[in-house]
Amino acid sequence: MSEKAHPNTMRPKRSIFRIMLDVVVYLGALLMLFGINSFLAGNTVPLYRAIAAGRETAVAIGLIVLYVAASAYIWRQYQDYQLSGKLVVAFVGVSFVIVMGISQVVTRVVRSSLTEDIGAALTIETGGLRNEVDLFFHEKAGQIQTLVLIDSFKEQLAERNASYSGSAADIQAEIEQLDEQWLVASDDDPLITQVTSANADINPLAFQLYDYLEAFPQQTELFITDRYGATVAATGRLSDYYQADEEWWQAAWNDGQGAIYISEPQYDASADIMAILIAVPIVSEEENEILGIARSTVDARGIFAILDRFQRGETGYAFLLNGAGEIIGDSAAENETSDAALSEAIRQQVLEQHVNTVIGLDEAGEETIFGSAPLHSEADAEEASSEL
């Protein structure tokens, strides 16, 4: 006696075509899962970072759900496969996992090697950029040094210093009194015009300073003080007559030893530009003593032009940090990208490094390579940096 099997009690074995179709679906889902890293943040970024990123959360969850659904489908159909089909599925699945694992390892090794190569190249380029900016600083300082070597400068300053009488306290009191008069004097007051006049008969030193500015237009202001800090000649009215209480004057005086002072770029409200202050001592060759101090204001846009020339691929740019970690020059400013990208952690790492490469996350969470090199001057140092 025989009995027909109920249609629902036995399912036919699936054909090899259907098996391969199932495998393709499974592999496709698995590929998409492995591709999450590349799709969202690069294939070296862990999956949890992609899921944690707010705008990519839905995409990440969708891909994971797709993978789980595909795995459940394959498992449900697996019992209907022929033995050869089961072996094919098992072999392909295991092989795929092994290949993907090896590819991840190779990718990490290659990425590490490329990062080191890029970092080394970026460090070299940043060092070259630093040298260009350093050269700009010292070129401007050298121009002023050349100017103050003129004998007439030294002779007139020596005469001015010798014109004072009394003790050091008496000289200080006299200069401070003139400083008070300067603050309230009109522009045509003789106290002002004797310092700022471009007439060689009134002030030969000021006359030469005006000629100098015409020859070097990046120097926007120039004036000279005597050894006591009183202003002797200037290319325009200054806010004060007495300068010896200024940081730049004290640095250039250097306890009577003399030193070149170069400031960080800072905003000059009168000229509405970023400027650099350079102070150079004027030294008597015979007695090797300081006769006075020359102070120049230099347009810092020359430095920013150097930064603008820097190019590194499609995303590389250069920026200048001051000693406080503030961006004061940025070749990517028009794109509004770099200031936001430079996180506080990266700023601190850049400031603490010498010529080196820093790898970290920017504000957007993207891994970024920074090359940094300090600018050395007789005053505070700035940071010339480039980013990729």
Q: How remote is the C-alpha of 195 from its chain's centroid? A: 40
Give SS3 for 260. Answer: coil
362: its two tokens: 């920017």
What's the confidence (pLDDT) of residue 385? 36
Percent over 90 (pLDDT), the chain:
31
Residue 34 phi/psi, 5-degree rounding, is: -65, -25
Q: Is the pLDDT of residue 209 over 60?
A: yes
DSSP 229: S
Q: Which of 45-49, 74-78, 201-205 has the lowest mean pLDDT?
A: 45-49
Q: Which of 296, 142, 298, 299 is nearest to 209 (CA)?
A: 296
Whether the Cβ atoms of residue 350 and residue 368 lie closer than 8 Å to each other: no
Query: For 62-72, what is each residue's pLDDT tens digit?
Result: 656 666 776 67
176: its two tokens: 């401070």
What's the confidence (pLDDT) of residue 281? 95
6: its two tokens: 């109920």
Residue 27 contacts by C-beta under 8 Å, 6 or more apart in sequence?
92, 96
Q: What is the pTM of this model?
A: 0.66
Whether the Cβ atoms of residue 378 and residue 262 lie closer than 8 Å to each other: yes
- What distance in Å separates the CA atoms of residue 164 and residue 383, rounded to the nearest whole number? 43
Report which of residues 91 and 60 the model is more confident about. Answer: 91
Domains, the chain, with CATH or none: 168-302 (3.30.450.20), 308-387 (3.30.450)
Query: For 216-263, what is each residue's pLDDT tens digit?
Result: 988 999 999 999 999 999 999 999 999 999 999 999 999 999 999 999
What's the confidence (pLDDT) of residue 64? 65
Whether the Cβ atoms of residue 264 and residue 290 lie closer than 8 Å to each other: no
